[in-house]
Structure 1
C-alpha cells in the first residue's frame, strides 16, 4: 500500500531534524571548557610559561639591571669631584622631564621599572630552579664535574640573595635614610647626597659590608654577563673567549668603582 505523500514528508522532516540536532550536539560544547580552551593567552605570557621564555626574561631583566649598575657607578664617581658635583648630579636625576612632570616623578618611575625587572629576574630564576628540580628529582649520585660549573655559577643563588639584601640596605641607607641617622656629621638630609654617603661609609662596619657586598655583586655579574649570551642563544664556542673577556671586564669595572667609595671615605680621601 503506498505511503501518503503527507506522511512521507513528515517522516523526512523528522529524520532531518534529528540529524541536525545530533550534529549540533556533537559540535556544541557541553560546558564552557571547550570555549575556554580555544582562548589563547597573550604571546608574552605563553612564551614566559616555557623554560626558554623564562631564560629570555632572566637575560633581558639582567641586561636592564646591568645597565643600571654601570650608570649608577659612573654617576657616583662624581663624589671624587666634591659635594657640589655629586649633589648637582642627584638634583639632575630628580628633575628628569621637569616641568613636564613634577620633580622626582620620573626618577620614581625609573625606580619602579628597575624593581619590576628585579622581581621578574627573581621569579624567572625561582621558576627555572623548580623546573630543573622537577626534571631531575633525584640528586646526582656521584661527584659532579665542576670544571665547567665554576665557583661563580655554583654560588649564583647565594650571591643573588646577599646582593638583594645589600640592595635593601642601600635603599634604607642612602635613599630613605632610615639606617643613616647616626653619625658624627649630623643627620640624614634629603638632597645632600655627598654628606649622606660620607656619613654612612665613615662607619667601618658599614664600609666593610659595602666592600664585601660589592665583591659578591661582581661574582654575580661575572656569571650573569657570561650566561646572558647563552640564554639568548648566542653561545657559539668561537665567541667564548670574547664572552669571558666581556664578563671579566664588566664585573671588574663595577667592583673596582663601587669598592673605591667606602675605601676612599675610610682612608680620608673623601671627607
Structure 2
C-alpha cells in the first residue's frame, strides 16, 4: 500500500506542475498538453505515452484499493468479537476518515476524467483547446464545479497527510525524532499539493486566468 501510494503521489506532483502551466498563458499550456501526446514518438503511437501512464496508474489505484481492503479485512479478522466497551482512540481527523476520503477521491477522479480528459461533462469539450476547457470548466457561473473540486482536494489533502506519514512508518521509520519529521513532511506535502491544485480553479473563478 505504501509503494502504490508513493507512485500515485509522484503522479500528483507531476500533474500539479503541469496544471500550473496554465499561468504561463494559453499558447504555452496548449503546447504542453499536446506535447504530452507526442512523448515517445515515433517509437510510441500518438498518445501512446498517455495510455501507458493511464494503465500504470489504473493498476496502482486498483492495487492501492486492494491493499486497503485487505488491511481492513485483516483488522476485522483479528478481532471477530466486538468490544463490549471500547475507549475512544486518539488520532487525527485525517486518520479517522481515510476510507471515506478514499471514496470521495475515487468518485472525483471518475468525474475529472469525464470532464477534462474525455470532455463529456465539460461545457466546451474541445480536445484541441485544453486551456479553453479549463477556463470553461471553472467559469464563475459554474461555481458548483469549483466547490466540488475544492471538497475533493481537501479530502485528498487529509488522505495524503495520513497516508504519507503511514508510508514513512511502513518503509522503516520508527524513531520518535523520525516520527516528528515524518509528520511534518506529510503535512507540508499535503498542504503544498492541495494549494497547488486549488490555485487553478480559483484563479479562473476570480478572473485571474481567462
Which category describes the TM-score, using the shorter chain as reference length? over 0.9
**2:199 counterpart of 1:257:** no
CA contact (8 A) 2:173 2:179 kept: no
CA–CA separation in structure 1 for the residues paired with 2:163 and 2:70:
17
CA–CA separation in structure 2 for the residues paired with 1:243 and 1:159:
21
TM-score by length of 1: 0.74
The correspondence for 1:135, drawn from 57, 78, 88, is 78
Q: 1:102 to 1:245 in 2, by over 3 A?
A: same
Greater Rg over alpha carbons, structure: 1
Q: Could you say which residue in structure 2 is the equivalent of 1:195?
A: 132
Q: Could you say which residue in structure 1 is the equivalent of 2:152?
A: 213
Q: Tell me by how many angstroms 1:143 deviates.
A: 4.1
Q: What's the secondary structure of 1:261's corresponding residue? A: helix
CA contact (8 A) 2:39 2:49 kept: yes
The correspondence for 1:65, drawn from 1, 8, 17, is 8
CA contact (8 A) 1:90 1:191 kept: no
Q: 1:89 to 1:144 in 2, by over 3 A?
A: farther
The correspondence for 1:120, drawn from 56, 60, 63, is 63
Q: Could you say which residue in structure 2 is the equivalent of 1:30?
A: none
Give deviations 1:75-104, integer Å, cap 9, x for gaps.
110101111111111111111111111110
Over aligned residue pairs, what C-alpha RMSD do you find? 1.1
In terms of mean alpha carbon deviation, does 89-98 or 168-177 score higher? Answer: 89-98
Q: Could you say which residue in structure 1 is the equivalent of 2:53?
A: 110
The correspondence for 1:266, drawn from 182, 205, 209, is 205
The correspondence for 1:78, drawn from 2, 21, 27, is 21
Q: Could you say which residue in structure 2 is the equivalent of 1:93?
A: 36
Q: Could you say which residue in structure 1 is the equivalent of 2:176?
A: 237
CA–CA separation in structure 1 for the residues paired with 2:172 and 2:82:
27
Give deviations 1:151-171, integer Å, cap 9, x for gaps.
111100000000000100000
The answer to which structure, 1 or 2, has the higher relative contact order (CA under 8 A, 6+ apart) is 2
CA–CA separation in structure 1 for the residues paired with 2:206 and 2:144:
14
Q: Tell me by how many angstroms 1:208 deviates.
A: 0.6
Which sections of structure 1, spanning at least 5 residues, go unmatched?
1-57
Which sections of structure 2, spanning at least 5 residues, go unmatched?
none
**2:116 counterpart of 1:152:** no
